[in-house]
Amino acid sequence: MARNPGPRPAHTDGPQQAAGPEARVVVVGAGHGGAALVALLRQGGHRGEIVLIGDEPEHPYQRPPLSKKFTSGELEQVIRPREFYAEQQVVLQLGERVTGLDAAAQKLTTTSGGTFGYDFLVLATGARPRPLPAPGANLDGVAALRTLADARVLRDWLAERRRLVIVGAGYIGLEVAAVATAAGVPVTVLEREERVLNRVASSELSAILTAAHGARGVDIRVDAQVCALAGNGAVREVVLGSGGTLPADGVLVGIGAIPNTELAEAAGLACAGGIVVDETARTSDPAVLAIGDATVRPVAGVGRMRLESIPSATEQAKQAAATILGTPPPAPELPWFWSDQLDLKLKIAGVVLPGREVVLRGDPGIGRFALFHLERGQVRAVETANSPAEFMAGKKLIASGVLVDPVRLADPAVPLRDVSTGAC
Amino acid sequence: MPAITYVVPDGSVHVVDVPVGQSVMDGSVRNNLPGIVAECGGSCSCATCHVYLDGEFADRFDDATDEEQELLEYAEGARPTSRLSCQLIVTGSCDGVRVTVAPEA
């Protein structure tokens, strides 16, 4: 057997990495990526042992409803029925954390003392909410939103009609603001940057969404610094950089996420703002793969970046399954993302970067529009609201790289299959 | 329980009992059939549950909404019989229905 040239110390007495349907697979992290991977492995005919370790007590569940439907009966949705895992012979270890990882010996231990050897370890450890770097962030009534347990807390706040202040106008903050306002709870959103969704959306979309939220009664304040949260045990007010204060019974902090790379770092894997992986989900250790929010991954035309989305985690689960099974890698997919806010179903494809020509098609006034982002006549990204055809056609235009006519693209009367100039 | 037949992209055929009230997508996910990814969990957002529904079974389900029709219009491999299986809710009259999972679903 050839010695492995990778950074992992060569060893002859321990278990060896072997791709194929008999490999022992341990997946750490039972979110969307981990749950998709174990299902894909069995679909692909994997026969070896599969262990799925999750630190939450719940079976893998859908995360989008946490910020979109947390006041409704649709909050708690499992990704697969609970009995699915036993039927698929997946050993589910819920409420467990990894306490020790020996990458050289290819085994790990968990909180309850379980020891699991692996041929492939898959880190699907996700990300955790970035804490608010301000005094008072530990007061009662200050919360983040990442888990089902978090969403239940938020649901209870709204049931009590508590005044809600949301720190951070990202997707989570805006989705929660929309739901809370619809439920009749007064909401103020504080954003330290000059516009909402500053990091992820175009300035054009930010402006449209700011207006839409404002029209529904969401109080959005940009360029707003939070200096401190104040209260006696429980939060009572938010102290602003301007010197003013805002009364608050609950504060939701949604200022981004930190990738959970601790396990990877302890194993000596290359990390750079996330676990570094290639397009086969491999890390710098050939026996360790990583998928999902915890990774920095290659994105066509952009380079390596962290994508926090279910489609990205699912795509990487397909890559990892192919690597483990020793089958051809799947074709690269275009990054995309969705968000529901107010009565807007937003779908974004491609990576939105500044400095591109932006073509509006449709009418933001009636909540039905698409923003196409062009570079040298080619569509690179599209942000859509209530426009599924524009989203689907936009994905095809981006993937094909065809040159488009901006004037025809802007005209909703011109079908999207007729907007190309015919050249590539 | 109505039995639904799935023809999946590798050509294999699977017959699955799907409870009334669940979707054709649910039946695939529940039984871990290959082909239907169901990325968005059934919220008519992603079109990764694209199937072809033979014309003889079309009237067993509600018509496609405008949203579903728009998603399908530009979906990979779209045909007149295309549907999103998350929108195909199984009723008592669906026994024997046959769907073919689209290759790029």
> How much is the pLDDT for B41?
86
> How much is the pLDDT for A424?
54
SS3 string of A273-340? CCEECCCCCECCCCCEEECHHHEEEEECCCEEECCCCHHHHHHHHHHHHHHHHCCCCCCCCCCEEEEE
Nearest to residue A353, comparing CAs of A373, A369, A379, A368? A373
Report d(CA A165, CA A54) in Å as an integer.
31
Segment A182-203 mean pLDDT: 95
Domain assignment of residue A20, yes or no: no
A211 and A110 part of one domain: no
Does residue A422 carry a pLDDT above 80?
Answer: no
Q: What is the mean pLDDT of chain A?
A: 93
Nearest to residue A247, comparing CAs of A320, A162, A160, A181? A162
**Can you name the residues that pair with A346 across neighbouring β-strands?**
A339, A385
Categorise residue A115: left if φ over 0, alpha if ψ from -120 to 50, beta otherwise.
beta
Does residue A188 carry a pLDDT above 80?
Answer: yes
Q: Are A33 and A315 in contact (CB under 8 A)?
A: no
A150 and A236 part of one domain: yes
Chain A segment 377-406 residues within 8 A of B by beta carbon are 387-389, 391-393, 395-396
> How much is the pLDDT for A13?
39
> How much is the pLDDT for A6?
39
Three-state SS at A420: strand
| Amino acid in position B35 | G
Chain A segment 274-293 residues within 8 A of B by beta carbon are none
Domain assignment of residue A13, yes or no: no
Domain that holds residue A43: 25-128+258-325
A318 and A348 part of one domain: no
Task: Give residue A423's pLDDT band: very low, low, confident or very high (50, 70, 90).
Answer: low
Segment A50-76 mean pLDDT: 94
Task: Give residue A164's pLDDT band: very low, low, confident or very high (50, 70, 90).
Answer: very high
Nearest to residue A289, comparing CAs of A308, A307, A267, A272? A267
DSSP state of A39: H
A245 and A265 part of one domain: no
- Please tell me the pTM assigned to this model: 0.94
Distance of CA A78 to the CA centre of its chain: 17
Segment A116-125 mean pLDDT: 98
> How much is the pLDDT for A4?
40
CATH number reported for the structural domain that contains residue A387 in this entry: 3.30.390.30
Residues in chain B, pLDDT under 70:
104-105
Of A237, A255, A273, which closes a domain? A255
Q: Are A295 and A305 in contact (CB under 8 A)?
A: no
Does residue A237 carry a pLDDT above 50?
Answer: yes
Chain B residue numbers touching A392 (CB-CB < 8 A)? 47, 70-71, 73-75
Please give the ipTM for the structure prediction: 0.94
Domain assignment of residue A10, yes or no: no
CATH number reported for the structural domain that contains residue A73 in this entry: 3.50.50.60
Domain assignment of residue A4, yes or no: no
Report d(CA A178, CA A172) in Å as an integer.
10
**Can you name the residues that pair with A29 across neighbouring β-strands?**
none
Domain assignment of residue A203, yes or no: yes
Report d(CA A342, CA A177) in Å as an integer.
9
Task: Give residue A166's pLDDT band: very low, low, confident or very high (50, 70, 90).
Answer: very high
A242 and A269 part of one domain: no
Domain assignment of residue A135, yes or no: no
A39 and A85 part of one domain: yes
A251 and A285 part of one domain: no
Whether residue A78 lies within 8 A of chain B, CB to CB, comes out as no
Whether residue A339 lies within 8 A of chain B, CB to CB, comes out as no
Nearest to residue A162, comparing CAs of A137, A188, A144? A188
> How much is the pLDDT for A12?
38
The secondary structure of A197-246 as a DSSP string is TTTTS-HHHHHHHHHHHHHTT-EEESS--EEEEEEESEEEEEEETTS-EE
In total, chain A counts a number of residues equal to 424
Q: Which two tokens stand for residue A30?
A: 């039972």
Q: Which of B26, B43, B69 to mutate to test the interface with A (most CBs of A within 10 A)?
A: B43
Domain assignment of residue A18, yes or no: no
Does residue A402 carry a pLDDT above 80?
Answer: yes
Chain B residue numbers touching A44 (CB-CB < 8 A)? 34
Angle formed by the axes of helices A171-182 and A148-159, to 10°?
30
Q: Are strands A120-123 and A25-28 parallel, antiparallel or unpaired?
A: parallel
Chain A residue numbers touching B71 (CB-CB < 8 A)? 388-389, 391-392
In the sheet that A357-363 helps form, which strands lie side by side, from edge to edge?
A336-341, A344-349, A378-385, A368-375, A357-363
**Can you name the residues that pair with A90 across neighbouring β-strands?**
A50
CA-CA-CA-CA torsion sign (A324, A327, A333, A337): negative
A30 and A108 part of one domain: yes
> How much is the pLDDT for B42?
87
Q: Cβ atoms within 10 A of the Cβ of A4, count?
A: 15
Taking only the tens place, the pLDDT of each residue in B71-92 is 999 999 999 999 999 999 999 9
Chain B residue numbers touching A391 (CB-CB < 8 A)? 71
| Across A4-13, A103-112, B29-38, least confident range | A4-13
A239 and A174 part of one domain: yes
Task: Give residue A19's pLDDT band: very low, low, confident or very high (50, 70, 90).
Answer: confident
A247 and A160 part of one domain: yes
Identify the structural domains of chain B with CATH numbers, from first to last.
Answer: 3-101 (3.10.20.30)
Domain assignment of residue A408, yes or no: yes
A277 and A205 part of one domain: no
Chain A residue numbers touching B39 (CB-CB < 8 A)? 310-311, 314
> How much is the pLDDT for A421?
87
**A186 exposure class (CB count in 10 Å sphere: 0-12, 13-18, 19+):** middle
Does residue A7 carry a pLDDT above 70?
Answer: no
> How much is the pLDDT for A17?
53
Q: Which of B67, B70, B101 to mutate to test the interface with A (most CBs of A within 10 A)?
A: B70
A159 and A182 part of one domain: yes
List CB contacts of A112: < 8 A, sequence separation 6 or more. A96
Report d(CA A195, CA A176) in Å as an integer.
17
Report d(CA A365, CA B66) in Å as an integer.
20
Of A255, A281, A300, which closes a domain? A255
Does residue A148 carry a pLDDT above 50?
Answer: yes
Total domain count, chain A: 3
Of A255, A274, A303, which closes a domain? A255
Percent of chain A whose predicted confidence (pLDDT) is above 70: 95
> How much is the pLDDT for A50?
98
How crowded is the C-beta side of A263, counted as CA atoms within 13 Å?
A: 29
Three-state SS at A165: strand
Q: Do B34 and A44 touch (CB under 8 A)?
A: yes
> How much is the pLDDT for A16?
45
Taking only the tens place, the pLDDT of each residue in A288-346 is 999 999 999 999 888 999 999 999 999 999 999 999 999 999 999 999 999 999 999 99
**Can you name the residues that pair with A339 across neighbouring β-strands?**
A346
Does residue A210 carry a pLDDT above 70?
Answer: yes
Whether residue A338 lies within 8 A of chain B, CB to CB, comes out as yes
